[in-house]
Amino acid sequence: MSVQRRSALAEGLVGEMGLLAEEQFARAEELIARIAAEGIETIRLTFADQHGVIRGKTVVAEAFASAVKSGMAVTSTLLLKDTSHRTVFPVWTRDAGFGAGMLTGASDILLVPDPATFRVVPWSPHSAWILCDLYLKDGTPIPFSSRTILKNSVAKLAEREMALICGLEVEFYVYALEDARLTHAETGMPPAPPKTGLVAHGYQYLTESRYDALEDIMDELRRNAVKLGMPVRSMEAEFGPSQCEFTFEPATALEHADTMLLFRSMVKALCARRGLHATFMCRPQVENGMASGWHLHQSVVSTVSGENLFMPGPDGALTPAASGWIAGLLAHARESCLLTTPTVNGYKRYQAFQLAPDRVQWGRDNKGAMIRGLMAPGDRASRIENRVAEPAANPYLYFASQILGGLDGIRAGREAPAPVENPYETDAKLLPRSLIAAVEAFEGSELFRAELGADFVRYLAHIKRAEWERYLSVVSDWEQREYFTTF
C-alpha cells in the first residue's frame, strides 16, 4: 500500500516536472501516515514572501496528498506587493515588467511543499506547518523566491567545498495590547497600529527583576520554539522597556533562515493569543524606546573536513578565509543594506554610541563596529558577528547577501583591513542613511546583478521605491511641529 501511494504521488505534476526527489516523496508518504495517525486536521502550506512575511493557504488533511502531488495554486500578486500589501506592479497589462505574460493578470503560481520542513503547530496541535518553494505553472523556479535565492547561494558556496554556519541573536518587543483598533474607520492598507503599553520597564540590562517580570512570556515562547525544533540557547531582558532577546545555537544557513521565519510568526501568534502585541519593527514610535537589532554570527566550515576555516593559527592572524570573508562583507556592505535593513524604519538605528553600527568597518570583539571579530587560536567557535541587520529583514535574502559578499571576497583574494578600536571616530564609509540611499546602492551593485540577476535587482528596488514614495507623501509629526507655526 505504501509503495503504491508513493508511486502515485510521484506520478503527479510535481513528479513529472522533477520538483521533488524520490526521497522527498518518500518523506511525504510518511507525513501522510503521520497526519492520519495523529488526527491532524489542517495543514498550513506556507512560504516566505519578498519581505520575509509568511503567506500561504490552509488545506484539510485529506488534501495534503494532492498538494504534494500537484502543488497548490496561489495568486502571483503575493510576490508583487510592498509592505502595505498593495500590488505595486501593473499586473493588468501585457507586461508587468518581467516579460510578456510573466506574473500578469493575477495569474497563479505553484506552492510545492518541502517535506523536510513539516512541523506540528504546538499551540494549535490539530494543525501543522510546512514550508513551500515557489514555481511557475510550467515548473520553472520563480527567480524572485527568496528561499530559492538562498538555496542557490548555498550551492555556490558548496562548489568551493564550504558551508556557512550561523548563530542568531534576535531582539524584539512584547507590549501589552490596550486597543487593537478594529473599528471600520481604522482599517486600510496598512491599518491603524494598535495602542500598546509596557509589560516591563527597561534600561536595567540583564537584571534579574526585569527577566522575572517577563519570564512567563519567555517561557511560553521558549517551550513552543523548542517543540518546533528550534535550537534555543538563551533568553534575555534587553535594554529597552519590554524588549526581549532570543539567541539560537549554530545551524546551517537554510535551517536558520527557516528558524527565523517561523520564530517571528510564532512570537506574534502566541503573544496575540495572550492579549499582547509583539513586534520585530526595528524602532517603534514609543517613548523611551530603543532600536532592536539582529546580530548574525557566521563561520565558514569545510564540507570535506568539517574544519572551521575562521579559526586562526597560533599567531592569531586571520585565516585567508576569514580575511577574505570580512573584506567581502565590507566591500559590499552598502549595497547589501537593502537586504539586511529593508525598511524605512531600520535606518533610524544606525546612530553612533548606541551599540549599533553607523559605518563600514570591523573590530575585534567591539560591539560598536559593523563586524565584530571573535576569533582566537584553538577556539573552534571562532566566528564573526555582523551587527548590521534589523530584525524585520527577510532571513533568506539577508543570509544570501552574506554568502555572496563573503564568497566574493574569498574568490577575489581580498584582505581585510586593520581592525578598528574606536568605531565611532574613524573616517570609514558611512552605512546608508536612508532606505532610498540603500536602494540606489543596491541598484548599482555589480555583484548582485551578476549573482541574483538584473531582473531581481529591478524587482526588489521597484517594491522598495514604492514604499519610499509612500513614506515621502505623508506629513510627519516632526514636520508639523517644525514648520506649522514657524512659517
Query: Could you tell me which residue, 161 or 5, shows the higher pLDDT?
Result: 161
Q: Mean per-residue pLDDT for 325-336?
A: 98
Q: Is the pLDDT of residue 2 over 80?
A: no
* CA–CA gap between residue 155 and residue 137 (Å, rounded): 24
69 alpha carbon, distance to own chain's centre: 29
* Cis amide prior to 141 (ω within 30 degrees): no
User: Rounded to 5 degrees, what angle do the CA atoms 469, 261, 10 make?
Assistant: 115
* CA–CA gap between residue 201 and residue 177 (Å, rounded): 16
Residue 201 backbone zone (phi > 0: left; psi -120 to 50: alpha; other: beta): beta
Q: Single out the residue of 176, 392, 384 nearest to residue 265, CA to CA.
A: 392
* CA–CA gap between residue 116 and residue 66 (Å, rounded): 17
Q: What is the DSSP string of 5-22?
A: HHHHHHTSHHHHTT-S-H
Q: Whole-model pTM above 0.85?
A: yes
Q: Which grid coordinates are listed for 76?
A: 502571483
Residue 288 backbone zone (phi > 0: left; psi -120 to 50: alpha; other: beta): left
Q: Which grid coordinates are listed for 130?
A: 510546512
Cβ distance 366 to 423 under 8 Å? yes
pLDDT at 168: 97
- The string of pLDDT tens digits covering residues 428-464 is 999 999 999 999 999 999 999 999 999 999 999 999 9
- The string of pLDDT tens digits covering residues 69-115 is 999 999 999 999 999 999 999 999 999 999 998 999 999 999 999 99
437: CB partners within 8 A, 6+ apart = 347
Specify the 3-state DSSP secondary structure of 118.
coil
Mean of pLDDT over the chain:
95
Q: Is the pLDDT of residue 209 over 90?
A: no
| % of the chain beyond a pLDDT of 70 | 99
Q: Which grid coordinates are listed for 310?
A: 575562521
Q: Which grid coordinates are listed for 152?
A: 542557490
Q: Is the pLDDT of residue 15 over 80?
A: yes
- The string of pLDDT tens digits covering residues 332-389 is 999 999 999 999 999 999 998 888 999 999 999 999 999 999 999 999 999 999 999 9
- The string of pLDDT tens digits covering residues 137-178 is 999 999 999 999 999 999 999 999 999 999 999 999 999 999
- The string of pLDDT tens digits covering residues 219-229 is 999 999 999 99
Q: pLDDT band at residue 206, thresholds of 50, 70 and 90?
A: confident
* CA–CA gap between residue 66 and residue 281 (Å, rounded): 37
Across-strand partners of 374?
A: 383
pLDDT at 8: 85
Q: Is the pLDDT of residue 283 over 80?
A: yes
Q: pLDDT band at residue 204, thresholds of 50, 70 and 90?
A: confident
pLDDT at 1: 42
pLDDT at 7: 66
Across-strand partners of 111?
A: 72, 134
- The string of pLDDT tens digits covering residues 44-55 is 999 999 999 999
